[in-house]
Amino acid sequence: MVATDGWMLAAADASLSLLLLVVHSAPAPNYGSLFLSLASNDTAALHLRALTLHPHVAGTRANSLTAAYVRDAFSSLSIPAHITPYSVLLSYPVERSLSLAVPGRATTTSFALSQETYPNDPYASATAEVMPTFYAYAASGSVSAEAVYANYGREEDFAYLASRGVDVAGKVAVARYGRIHCEDIVHNARVAGAAAAVVYTDPLQYGGAPGEAWFPDSRWLPPTGVQVGSLFRGVGDPTTPMWASSEGCERVSVEEAMDTDDMPGIPALPVSARDAAEIHAALGGDAAPADWQGREGSPVYRLGPGPAILNLTYTGNDTMATIENVFAVIEGAEEPDRYVILGNHRDAWTFGASDPNSGTAAMIELAQRLSVLQKQGWRPRRTIIFCSWDAEEYGLTGSTEWVEENREMLSSRAVAYLNVDVSVVGPVQDPDNSSQTVYDSWVKSNISPLDQAIPYIIRYTMTSCGWRNSEIQGSVGTLQRHFRITAASIWGMMALRLADEEILPFNYMSYPVELEAYTKVVENEVGGTAISCSPLHNAIRALKTAATKVNGERKELQRQLSSNQLKKDSMKIRSLNDRLMQAERAFTNREGLFKQEWFKHLVYGPSEQNDWESASYPGVENAIASARKENTTESWKFVQHEIHRVARAITQASVVLAGSLT
């Protein structure tokens, strides 16, 4: 059985550029070397096996057992651990059906909506436990209507259909994964007037070349493979928007929660490439454009509408359920009120062997190494917190609720957040080439470290990053073993440096360079308008000056430390660290992003058009997208307003870094 799920942004915010120094620099002496020498694939493999014996969707008993397992694993290492539960709105399938009828055709095709196992699948006996393929929070209902092909389901795809005179209203939109995530596809379909949506994994993106093998013989999705997911476009518990789902808290009703614009509002189903091929073969109308077509050998994709008629029924159970976050804490010795947070989600739509439990196994293996260091006398300068999040797949639910419940503490105390969900699906030492580091491998492969370590942007700012090893080739089992321990090594070394070094290893010098690149993109997008990016350029120059100043201060304090001219508990160090830590928070705005108010970081955040992507200057991007649609004086004036908002945030960061009042 194979199911894939797209990634979403995780719980924390900020800019990876600060953390590149952490990966790049030499490891801490003694304990860092000992940490690397303790790498054990056997340990991680045992944890991964235990966590993936059964499917464990959030809110189920099976996932509760994984929470207990993770808690007990930490406790067995003498690291205090506990579970924090929340009651949240989750969604499960009750009834699903999909059939295809064609006028003049005697028979109706009923789709099985099931994924086939492969020969000798060691998990075949557990497939009966897998939840039927579905979309969380899809509206319940039945629709019988002509099908319309909508390519990737983007706004521009539906606009193209309208320009061709293809009416989507009241139809079933058929779209494929590949550019945006399922919740955005279904949302766009609803906005275009569709009565229901069907989303599939096209072999063009997920099947390899014609004739290529699929899983388990390669990385490609089998013909009956289905990508499931959540259609909720918000984050956290839908019944407690913008506040924590604590015991006895205020809640909106389930009906009110399901009636918001963040919910899909129409029935929808995910289907396989095999089922979609039958639908495509039955569609008529004009041939779709060349870039809407499938891979070689696929039927010609036509736009419709009809004559194919899809009969879709979905009944869901949208219900309150208990989720469980797991936490383990190694208290800091000198600065226990400063937190270095390591996180990974635990819930999965099926078994979760890659996403997320390869990351969970790596996190436990990392903790085991740190427990050995503790026995050798090590204790971190700052507190390290391990977090195993629940219900991430539904909409970052567990992490969001915890952040909302602890927002003031995190705002003042969190140093950094490091997240790993996937540690074994792709390419310390490179396990493929012992003569070079992982960083060197990225550079030689023309892979930007900024792509490998994706910024995670959320409400209450702290410096953060997350990554997934990707593009794996070759023997999956062998490479998984190497990369799982490599991920734990990189993750752990970053945590050790953040937790142990007297001066936080944050380097703001790269920030102005990145911001200038983002600003040039904005200038290209607003070319030919009266919009000015001068406020951004001016603010970035000030940030560069402040970053140069604070970098010099850090080097001088490091010189004084190394020559014993300065004590490790000096208030000068604490003051500098506070500025380095708080500067990132200055990029936030309490009003949040335009159209995405929950997210507060104005430089990095999720794309409003595509949850699969992070965006630079997301509020500006959203304003430009609106202005292009409306094309009014006021809408373009609002773009200028958003540019000024970002410029003010950058200026505030400069003031914090400089450490003096204006």
- Class of the 90-318 domain? alpha beta
DSSP state of 574: H
Residues of the chain falling short of pLDDT 70: 1-29, 422-485, 610-612
**What angle separates helix 510-525 from helix 534-562, to the nearest 10 degrees?**
170
State the architecture of 510-658 in CATH terms.
Up-down Bundle (1.20)
CA separation (Å) from 199 to 150, 395, 450, 549?
A: 10, 19, 30, 52
Cα–chain center distance at 217 = 27
On whether the CB atoms of residues 498 and 596 are closer than 8 A, the answer is no
Q: What are phi and psi of 147, to 5 degrees?
A: -90, 145
On whether the CB atoms of residues 86 and 392 are closer than 8 A, the answer is no
**In the prediction, which pLDDT does 472 show?**
30
**Distance of alpha carbon 503 from alpha carbon 413, whole angstroms:** 15
Q: How many CB atoms lie within 10 A of CB 329?
A: 16
**In the prediction, which pLDDT does 450 show?**
33
Catalytic pick among 183, 392, 401, 584: 392
Where are the alpha helices (H) located in 5-131, listed in sequence order?
20-24, 31-37, 41-51, 61-76
Fold annotation for 31-89+320-500: Aminopeptidase (3.40.630)
Name the segment(s) of the chain with CATH classification 3.50.30.30: 90-318
Q: Who's near 492: CB < 8 A, 6+ residues apart?
A: 35, 366, 369, 370
Name the segment(s) of the chain with CATH classification 1.20.930.40: 510-658
**In the prediction, which pLDDT does 24 show?**
46
The yes-or-no answer on residue 278 being catalytic is no
Q: In this structure, are strands 229-230 and 268-271 parallel, antiparallel, or unpaired? A: unpaired
Q: Who's near 123: CB < 8 A, 6+ residues apart?
A: 1, 117, 351
**In the prediction, which pLDDT does 623 show?**
93
**Distance of alpha carbon 422 from alpha carbon 353, whole angstroms:** 9
**In the prediction, which pLDDT does 487 show?**
80
Q: How many CB atoms lie within 10 A of CB 401?
A: 29
| pTM > 0.95 | no
**Distance of alpha carbon 541 from alpha carbon 519, whole angstroms:** 12
Q: How many residues does the chain have?
A: 662
**In the prediction, which pLDDT does 126 show?**
87
On whether the CB atoms of residues 45 and 478 are closer than 8 A, the answer is no
Q: What is the 3-state secondary structure (H, E, C) of 290-312?
A: HHHCCCCCCCCCECCCCECEEEE
pLDDT digits (tens, 9 = 90+) for 240-261: 999 999 999 999 999 999 999 9
**In the prediction, which pLDDT does 119 show?**
86
564 burial via Cβ count (<10 Å: 0-12, 13-18, 19+): exposed
